[in-house]
Structure 1
Amino acid sequence: MPRGSRLTPQELGSIQALHLEGKSGRYIARNLGRSENAVRNALKPKTKQKAPRKSADRPRRISEAIDQILKPSTVRKLLNSSHAAKWIKRKPSPDIKPHHKAARAAFAAKYLSKTHVWSSVVFSDEKKFNLDGPDGYQYYWHDVRTETELYSKRASGGGSVMVWAVISLQGKTQIAFLEGRQNPECYTATLDNYLVYQDPYRALGIQKLKWAAKSPDFNPIENVWGQLA
């Protein structure tokens, strides 16, 4: 049989038998008329081939080529250069449940066409202003190769002031500067001084508008505080 051809099952058996008898590879090759390399390959232990790995249940959506491009730094650069996205602070929101949403929708539907009502409604609210600026607005893009930037802040935020005011279609009240906790007695005093009694006669027939729970955004005075802050 010419050299280079595949070993037959008989030759493979002979190689194994002679090897078990202690014969050398050179002796086996000369005896079978094969090369020593062929004999060595036949005597190598056969490794069990691993079964192909099953793919995950969910197919891969990003190819390996694209995956090499989508590094975190690349994504951040794309977001930073995009006109459709910007890095902002996440705003807090009340924990609104389904029944709160239903009440909000009902409130909006009730007054959707009753625009005349708002001419006789006053909107009040209180607001805390920190003397060192708004809470938690010190954000910036940091270069990790440089020292972290710091900003000075006085103890306890430098203090704060609590104010209260009223707006309506007829105008606005003076800003009330509140002191201490606003318990019912303090709040009543604020109403007397800044809302109800601006003229010699006490207003009568004032009714409280039934408000949807957890709906501070319904109050337009929030926009006033937003402009001032």
Structure 2
Amino acid sequence: MGRGPLLTEVEVGMVLALRDHGFTHRAIAEHVGRSTKAIRTVIDQREGYGSNFKGRKPAKLIGRELRLLIREASKTGLSARSLATSLDIDASLRTCQRRLQGSENMEYVKRKHMPMLKKSHKIARLEHVKKYLKDPPFWPGIIWSDEKRFNLDGPDGLQYYWHDLRKEPDTYFTRRNGGGGVMVWGAFSSSGLSELAFLTGNQNSVCYCDTLGNYLFPFAHEHYGQHQNLTRAR
């Protein structure tokens, strides 16, 4: 509970006078309109009352320093901890977080991820969709396959940042290689799941063909036989 306002000089004089006339703490509190604790403090300290109260601590992280914090958060999206360290801010981490949360333009959100698609990729995907919307394939005869890399040197899709609501949402590109991680390949169809392949090293066309020969073809032969026309979708 916060500290209440100090009694005025007139109120202090009334408290001491009533006490000298034998009034109880409760009676004085009712007469003056202050709490019993405040009355007791005045009587205990008498002439020294109020001399120990230094007032509230000055607010941290205001003015120019606060504007710098918000500007850097808007520019970089870094966490409050990283901002406090890089800017050498003389305030606690919790204070930095409160100031950012109190800004009407800043919001701590999850960064969206997307594949790094060139214009040619987008056009090809759109044409592919249009083609199969018009003439859909025989779905039971399709085997779906894909590979996925799990990064071990950072989060996979769990990146949060301080987003400036006046700007477009930030994104990061998913990657196929670089950094520590493990890559797997798998396939499925209406008949079931293939064996999961753990891939090693950089995957070029030769490695990918080996993966298909060792995992996709046995899966297709087992469930569909060797002489059926199958479509592989990636």
TM-score bracket, shorter-length normalisation:
0.3 to 0.5
Determine which structure has the larger helix proportion and give its number.
Answer: 2
Normalised to the residue count of structure 1, the TM-score between the two structures is 0.39
Higher strand share: 2
TM-score under structure 2 length normalisation: 0.38
